[in-house]
Amino acid sequence: MKRIVVGAHYGLKDWLVQRVTALVMVLYTLLWLAIAWSAGGIDFALWQALFANGAFRIATMLFWLAVLWHAWVGMRDIWMDYLKPTALRLTVETLTVLILLAYAVWLLDVLWGPR
Amino acid sequence: MSALERPVTRKRPVYLNLVRIRLPLPGLVSILHRLSGLALFFVGLPLLLVGVERSLASPEAFEAFRAALATPWAKIVLIGLVWAYLHHFCAGIRFLLLDVHKGVELRPARQSSLAVLFISLALTLVVGVRLW
């Protein structure tokens, strides 16, 4: 099978993903600011109540999915620009994916794991 | 004069001497966007996960975590990460505006670069002062 890897529209999806995930992160940041603002600061009781709330945990999960997808596109851009030897770039990209997966599993444990 | 006879005035490709070139302001914002993103990926995200995990464990762990953040070294790292987040945030919004063709001409592009650098540093200062 022949694949065209250069030319118009290649990478358009990544470009769009980078922007949409950025907007999700902006919204989550605003959510935090609104919570901290309306409560006049965050103590342990509020902190624990927030993370006990199912909707908040799902919002946090969505935020992190946006972060991780955004980080993947961004880090791959950096590796593509500066790491020219293919073997090195593939190795680093693979490590990046493993780190992203580790963050994701860690987050699941923090949000839904036993406490 | 045909194209074939024209003297070659410039050698291509041009290799930039990274030590000697002076980055224009939009270039500075761009490379700092990359560096801040890199720092957030390798340092910010794991520390955020550790922080949420530890602080949720118990009221004592929450206070212990707060005390750990109050040490000078932790504050320096935290302020650095706050700057990285704010710069990445502001520069990202600038890129989104550029995408919809807002401020693409040279002058507004320079001005918005300056604004990104200034606003993110100013907000970092505000957070830093409150933190300290």
User: How far is C-alpha B95 from the geometric centre of its chain's CA atoms?
Assistant: 12
List the Cα angle A104/A110/A112 in 5-degree steps. 95
The pair of structure tokens assigned to A37 is: 């603002």
What are the tens digits of pLDDT across the range A15-46?
A: 999 999 999 999 999 999 999 999 988 889 99
pLDDT < 50 stretches in chain B? none
3-state SS class at A2:
coil
pLDDT tens string A43-91: 899 999 999 999 999 999 999 999 999 999 999 999 999 999 999 999 9
Q: Which of B25, B3, B13, B19 is nearest to B113 (CA)?
A: B25
Contact call for A78 and B46, based on CB within 8 A: no
Do the Cβ atoms of B52 and A26 come within 8 Å?
no
- Chain A contact set for B46 (CB, 8 A): 103
**Which residue type does A113 have?**
G
Indicate the pTM of the whole model. Answer: 0.86
Q: Tokens standing for B16?
A: 């930039």
Cβ–Cβ contact A73 with B under 8 A: no
ipTM: 0.88
Q: What b-and-e string marks burial along B111-126, b requiring 16 or more CB atoms within 10 Å of the CB?
A: ebbeebbebbeebbee
Under 8 Å CB-to-CB from A73, ≥6 apart: which residues?
A14, A17, A18, A21
Using a CB-CB cut-off of 8 Å, the residues of chain A touching B37 are 71, 74-75, 78
Interface-testing mutation among A48, A61, A83, with chain B (most B C-beta atoms within 10 A): A48
B96/A19 touch (CB, cutoff 8 Å), yes or no: yes
Contact present, B99 and B90 (Cβ < 8 Å): no
